[in-house]
Amino acid sequence: MIDTKTLTQLSAHVETPQSPETAVLETVPFQRGDGPPAIVRFTCPEFTSLCPVTGQPDFAHIVIDYAPDAALVESKSLKLFMTSFRNHGAFHEDCTVMIGRRIVAATKPLWLRIGGYWYPRGGIPIDVFWQTGAPPEGAWLPDTGVAPYRGRG
């Protein structure tokens, strides 16, 4: 059984962090085992942030795939982190890459990729992709499942 005593957010009432910078990404131990690495996927189809110029909301479908090494990101802390962007003003590219880098800093995975599929404002969707390097040998990498823009579905 995993010791959860060090987790401060799981099974507790936690207010949404005021910003991504103040959000805490917690981790739990992971044992990889033999064979190809596992790929863990988080999908956030209703991600929101704010345009840093106009203050208008921006919406995205975020897909995060990573191959954990010794730590997993705890999902409630990830949800709180993702929600903290609702009051955060940044361009699509900055939000997407910031999410990926924060998860890498917290978990030190074997590999991570993130796709930010941003819904259009002004008629142009912006899709942002970032990864830490080549995928691990032997890992199964499914398609992200996000349709090319045509109403995203």
For this structure, is 51 an active site residue? yes
The answer to whether the annotation marks 21 as part of a ligand binding site is: no
For this structure, is 95 an active site residue? no
Q: Are 37 and 67 in contact (CB under 8 A)?
A: yes
From the list 51, 69, 94, 127, the catalytic residue is 51
Location of structure tokens 């409630």 = 76
The answer to whether the annotation marks 92 as part of a ligand binding site is: yes
| DSSP codes joined into one string, 12-68 | S--PPPSSTTT----EEE----SSSPP-EEEEEEEEEEE-TTT--EEEEEEEEEEE-
Structure tokens at 10: 């799981």
The answer to whether the annotation marks 40 as part of a ligand binding site is: no
- Scored b (16 or more CB within 10 A) or e, 10-32 reads eeeeeeebeebeebebbbbebee
Q: Could you give the angle at the alpha carbon of 23 between the alpha carbons of 21 and 26, nearest 5°?
A: 125
From the list 3, 34, 58, 65, the catalytic residue is 58
Q: Hey, which residues are catalytic here?
A: 51, 58
Annotated binding site: 73-75, 92-93
Which residues line the annotated binding site for substrate? 73-75, 92-93
